[in-house]
Structure 1
């Protein structure tokens, strides 16, 4: 099941990058990026603490947390971060719902 979730997020990440590429965005320019987590309210505090230590801004309330950072989203840069998000979700028993970012074209 974990492998299926990993594949699912890898596929979703690729779909977002494909949508960016269609708009002329290679993903290499750093941009504001958001990551979404849902689950039991009590579990979010630990996620926020770890994320802040890793350099992310955190916000949210109740059963939702949004992590924010500025980063490139090309596959090489993004894949390790995506894997980290999935690991954090599993560690804190939260659902990682994916990410979004601004389109940046040069």
Structure 2
């Protein structure tokens, strides 16, 4: 879903709209992944993310951060901002996120 002309906020809303179309409000915590690419400082990203409670994995020029969280707009907005800040700080491309669909 990478589209450089679409803001992360718009992309986040598109993912939430796809979840809502499947009956998922986003409020139930679920496994969520965040993707970073590029030739920046993946080691420092991994260190900061681990300290913030994320599981990290990746190799060479990619890092995936994992956590369990709610993805509704109010819960997710601060995390999305943090991911964008980390990408800027470590000179990486933040490519967005994905999660499981959870319906109750």
Normalised by the size of structure 2, how large is the TM-score?
Answer: 0.94
Deviation, 1:90, is 0.1
Equivalent residue runs for 1:55-94 within 5 Å: 55-94=53-92
Does the residue aligned with 1:55 lie in a helix, a strand or coil?
A: coil
Does the residue aligned with 2:53 lie in a helix, a strand or coil?
A: coil
Equivalent residue runs for 1:6-85 within 5 Å: 8-40=7-39, 43-85=41-83
Aligned structure 1 segments of 4 or more residues deviating by more than 3 angstroms: none
* Separation of aligned partners in 1, 2:49 and 2:58: 13
Deviation, 1:94, is 0.2
Q: Which has the higher helix share?
A: 1
Q: Extract unaligned runs of 5+ from structure 2.
A: none
Normalised by the size of structure 1, how large is the TM-score?
Answer: 0.92
The number of aligned residues is 100
* Separation of aligned partners in 2, 1:27 and 1:93: 30
User: What RMSD in Å do the two structures reach over aligned CA positions?
Assistant: 1.1
